[in-house]
């Protein structure tokens, strides 16, 4: 491929989310190493992704809180196709947070091997600074003491 770039510096090449007014507190939290999600005051359910109306009952009585960052693997796939920012094989997972919401994310710190990955595996968040002003959430297995 003839692409001219002076990339002697390794740069994150993956997709960068575009924060919106609704999601800005989530991204601000990640930069501060806090996982901010929303909970509905009307029905009490926590949810993700951020939005101003509760997806469960349509209430707008929603507020932010700091989640524990702990959860478990709900489902996963091992991708064998590299894409910008992700060298195959890598793990795409849906993590169910202890507070209830499910997040699409990537698993890190674990072999992308179906022999070692399993659903319900306990995981916790790791914060990856992908650029100077963008931090994204990944999850890694909780090491059993
Ligand atoms: Zn609700």
pLDDT band, residue 10 (cuts 50/70/90): low
Residue 39 Cα to ligand 1 midpoint, Å, equals 8
Domains in the chain: boundaries: 24-141
User: Distance, CA 76 to ligand 1 centroid (Å)?
Assistant: 28
Residue 76 confidence (pLDDT): 97
CA of 11 to the centre of ligand 1 (A): 40
Instruction: Give me the pLDDT at residue 8, please.
Output: 43
Ligand 1 centre and the CA of 101: distance in Å? 13
Mean pLDDT, residues 98-105: 97
Q: Does residue 5 register a pLDDT over 70?
A: no
Hey, how many other C-beta atoms are within 10 angstroms of the C-beta on 79? Answer: 15
For the full predicted model, state whether its pTM sits above 0.85.
Answer: yes
The Å distance, Cα 1 to ligand 1 centre, comes to 51
Q: What is the pLDDT of residues 13-69, one digit of tens each?
A: 888 999 999 999 999 999 999 999 999 999 999 999 999 999 999 999 999 999 999
The angle formed by the CA atoms of residues 124, 76 and 17, to the nearest 5 degrees, is: 70
The pLDDT, as a whole number, for residue 145 is 64
Whether residue 89 is preceded by a cis peptide bond, meaning omega within 30 degrees of 0, is yes
At CA 125, angle to CA 62 and CA 26, rounded to 5? 35
């Amino acid at each position: 491929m003839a692409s001219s770039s002076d990339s002697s510096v390794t740069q994150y090449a993956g997709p960068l989310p575009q924060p919106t007014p609704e999601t800005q507190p989530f991204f601000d939290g990640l930069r501060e190493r806090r996982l901010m999600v929303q909970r509905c005051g009307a029905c009490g359910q926590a949810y993700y992704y951020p939005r101003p109306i509760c997806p469960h009952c349509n209430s707008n009585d929603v507020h932010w809180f700091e989640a524990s960052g702990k959860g478990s693997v709900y489902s996963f796939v091992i991708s064998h196709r590299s894409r910008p920012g992700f060298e195959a094989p890598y793990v795409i997972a849906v993590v169910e947070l202890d507070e209830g919401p499910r997040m699409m994310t990537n698993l890190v710190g674990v072999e992308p091997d179906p022999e070692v990955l399993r659903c319900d595996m306990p995981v916790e968040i790791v914060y990856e600074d992908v650029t100077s002003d963008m931090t994204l959430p990944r999850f890694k297995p909780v090491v059993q003491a």
